Amino acid sequence: MELLGKMMSTRSGLGLLLMLLSLAVVSPIACYNPSIQDGGFLCADAGKQCPDGFNCHSDGKCHANTSTSCSVPPITPICSDQPHDGGAACNPTCQTGCACGRCNVAGAAPACVTTVGTAKLGEICTPSTSKDNCLPGLICLLEADTCGQNVGRCYQYCTTNAQCSSVAGRLCEIPILDGTNRDTGYLTCSLASQTCNPLATTSNGCPNAGLGCYVSSAGATFCDCPNRATPGALGDVCMAYNDCKAGLVCTTQAGLAGMHCRQICMTSGTNTCPSGQHCVGVASSAMYGYCIN
C-alpha cells in the first residue's frame, strides 16, 4: 500500500508538471515592455533588445516608435557624453540624445533639428537661429561686423580643450551667444590656421572676400575678420594678429616697446622689403616675417 501511494503521488506530480508545460506552450509569450524613457535604454551591445514599441537607433539607444518616421536618421555619436545641464534635450558636442537629426544650439539651448548640412569646419555657412548648413558637431557662428553682412563660418562644439586638440593650437574658448548676445554657456573651439597668402592684394585664398589673411606671432596664417573697423597702418601699435591692415603683421621689434604693425615679407626667395631692409622671421623657421633695417 505504501508503494502504491508513492506511485500515485509520483503520477500526480508528473501530471501537474505536464499540465504546466502544456499551459506554457499554448499561452502567448508576454510582451517585453518595461517602463523606460525615450533614449533611456542602451541597445548597442549584442544581446540587448529594445522593448516593444521601441527601435535601436544609431546612437546605441532605444527610441520610441512614432506615427511618422524620421525624415533624417539620428547622427552617429561623436563622443559618449550625454545631455547635461538638467533639462537639455541633447548634447551638441557629442551629438547624443536625438532620435532624429542632429543636436544644435538653437537660441539659448540645444535642440534636435532635422537640418543636417554639409559645410565643413572653417567653411563659410549660412547663419540661422536654429538650422544652419554645417555638418553635425559644428555650428554656424556669425563673424564680426568688420567682415561684412551675414558672414558665418562653421565652428566645432566643445566642452574641453582636449576635444579641440586634433589640430594644434586650438582651444575650447569661443562662447556661443543667443539672439540677444547673452552667453548660452556652450563653447566652440577656436579655428585652425588656414593656408592663405598674406602678401596678396586681392585674392588671398580665404573662403570669403571679407576675410583677411593674417600671420600670427608663431608664423601660422589665419583667415579672419579685421579686429578693428580701421585697421592699423605701418608702425601703429597693435595687440592681435588681425589688428593691422592687409600686408602687415603685428609683431615685436627690437628697440620698440610693445607690438607694432610691420610690413610682411617672405623669409626665403626674393627680398620684397623696401631698399636697405631685410626680412626677419616672426618665429623660428617661419615662412613669413617682417621687414627691418
Beta strand extents in the chain (DSSP E only)? 54-56, 62-64, 102-106, 109-113, 124-125, 138-142, 152-158, 172-177, 183-189, 212-215, 221-224, 237-238, 248-252, 259-266, 278-281, 288-292
pLDDT in tens, 23-50: 333 334 444 445 566 667 776 554 466 6
pLDDT in tens, 262-277: 999 999 988 989 999 9
pLDDT for residue 4: 35
- Taking the C-alpha atoms of residue 272 and residue 291, their distance in angstroms, rounded to an integer, is 9
pLDDT in tens, 141-192: 988 778 877 789 999 999 999 999 877 778 999 999 887 888 999 999 998 8
pLDDT for residue 234: 95
Pairing of strands 152-158, 124-125: antiparallel
Residue 200 DSSP label: -
Please, which pLDDT band fits residue 9 given cuts at 50, 70 and 90?
Answer: very low
pLDDT for residue 10: 41
- Residue 259 has a CB neighbour count (10 Å cut-off) of 21
Check whether 16 has a pLDDT greater than 50.
no
Q: Phi and psi at residue 63, in whole multiples of 5°?
A: -120, 145
- Highest average pLDDT, of 51-60, 81-90, 155-164, 248-257, comes from 155-164
Please, which pLDDT band fits residue 115 given cuts at 50, 70 and 90?
Answer: confident
pTM: 0.67
pLDDT for residue 49: 67
215 vs 58, higher pLDDT: 215
**Percent of the chain clearing pLDDT 70 (strictly above):** 75
- Taking the C-alpha atoms of residue 103 and residue 243, their distance in angstroms, rounded to an integer, is 35
